[in-house]
């Protein structure tokens, strides 16, 4: 189904699918294409309204009768790592990063396959071949980087242990997709990647790190609430997450606005800005 704003990008809604986060729920996404000279401006503007990028598409959940998925971002200036997070930084003190143009390599794909096999063997990406993987990494109309993390193995060889596809927004860094060596689970590399991106954002004087969607009631998404202060996009604006448990209640079926009203409430950026 197509929805259009005057002289604006066209918005569509996906067909209902099984929700990957909450049992018994149905998922739909509101999305628009991302291309052309204004792609970066549109990505910046809609990311600030809860949208996420996947290749040349911007999307956010538009599920019937459910508002559980909320975009989340860390407020960099006020972030202080917890004791647990400090221990994770210490455990990975010998890891270093390299920030590169987003080109996929066989080394990336091998790490990605091992990560999926351990963490998401039955997920939607499980059947992704190397060409689809390369498209995920390389097909980007905006400013994107592949952030690689290395350490030396026992032979002194530099070994890739983690990577993150990262968009550089006007107001922050957006973690599009990260993956790491599942054999190093005890090192908490997923948390380390986020902590390092917070540091990169601080170094670049960027106010936010966007973490994707936080979903109360979903075990696989619960870790995001540990990065405080965390802001969530709810009810058309960003608000600080104070008590995660207060969101773990079902929404009333009437709490979801019709798609046409959701589209009408989107504020489009000025495409003439440079």
Average pLDDT of the residues in 213-233: 93
Average pLDDT of the residues in 125-133: 87
* The predicted structure's pLDDT at residue 58: 97
Whole-number percent of the chain with pLDDT over 90: 71
For 213, the enclosing helix (H) or strand (E) is: strand 208-214
Q: Find where tokens 């993956």 sit.
A: 179
Average pLDDT of the residues in 61-83: 94
Determine which of 68-77, 82-91, 116-125 has the lowest per-residue pLDDT on average.
116-125
Instruction: Give yes or no for a contact between 55 and 136, defined as CB atoms under 8 angstroms apart.
Output: yes
Q: pLDDT band at residue 121, thresholds of 50, 70 and 90?
A: low
Q: CA dist 264 to 5, 35, 44, 74, 105, Å?
A: 7, 21, 18, 27, 41
Would you call 249 helix, strand, or coil by DSSP?
A: coil
> What average pLDDT does the structure give for the chain?
91
| pLDDT at 115 > cutoff 50 | yes
* Of 223, 247, 211, 201, residue with least CA distance to 78: 201
| pLDDT at 98 > cutoff 50 | yes
DSSP state letter for 257: P
* The predicted structure's pLDDT at residue 4: 53
Instruction: Give yes or no for a contact between 214 and 224, defined as CB atoms under 8 angstroms apart.
Output: yes
Task: Tally Cβ neighbours within 10 Å of residue 70.
Answer: 23
List domains and CATH numbers for the chain: 76-208 (3.40.630.30)
Those residues whose C-beta lies under 8 Å from the C-beta of residue 259, and which sit 6 or more positions away, are: 1, 3, 13, 30, 62
* The predicted structure's pLDDT at residue 124: 63
């Amino acid at each position: 189904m197509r929805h259009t704003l005057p002289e604006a990008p066209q918005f569509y809604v996906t067909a209902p699918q099984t929700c990957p986060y909450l049992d018994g729920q149905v998922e739909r996404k509101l999305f628009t294409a991302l291309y052309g000279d204004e792609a970066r401006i549109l990505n910046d503007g809609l990311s600030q309204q809860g949208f996420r990028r996947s290749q040349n598409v911007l999307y956010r959940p538009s599920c019937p009768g459910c508002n559980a998925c909320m975009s989340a971002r860390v407020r960099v200036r006020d972030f202080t790592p917890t004791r647990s997070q400090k221990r994770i930084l210490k455990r990975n003190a010998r890891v270093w990063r390299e920030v590169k143009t987003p080109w996929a390599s066989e080394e990336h794909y091998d790490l990605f396959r091992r990560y999926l096999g351990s963490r998401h063997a039955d997920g939607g990406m499980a059947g992704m071949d190397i060409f689809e993987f390369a498209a995920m990494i390389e097909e980007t109309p905006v400013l994107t980087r592949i952030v690689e993390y290395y350490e030396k193995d026992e032979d002194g060889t530099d070994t890739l242990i983690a990577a993150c596809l990262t968009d550089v927004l006007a107001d922050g860094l957006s973690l599009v997709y990260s993956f790491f060596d599942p054999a190093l689970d005890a090192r908490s590399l997923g948390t380390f990647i986020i902590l390092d991106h917070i540091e990169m954002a601080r170094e670049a004087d960027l106010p936010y790190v966007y973490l994707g969607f936080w979903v109360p009631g979903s075990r696989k998404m619960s870790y995001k609430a540990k990065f405080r202060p965390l802001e969530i996009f709810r009810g058309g604006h960003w608000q600080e997450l104070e008590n995660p448990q207060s969101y773990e209640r079902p929404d009333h079926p009437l709490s979801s606005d019709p798609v046409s009203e959701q589209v009408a409430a989107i504020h489009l950026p000025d495409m003439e800005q440079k």
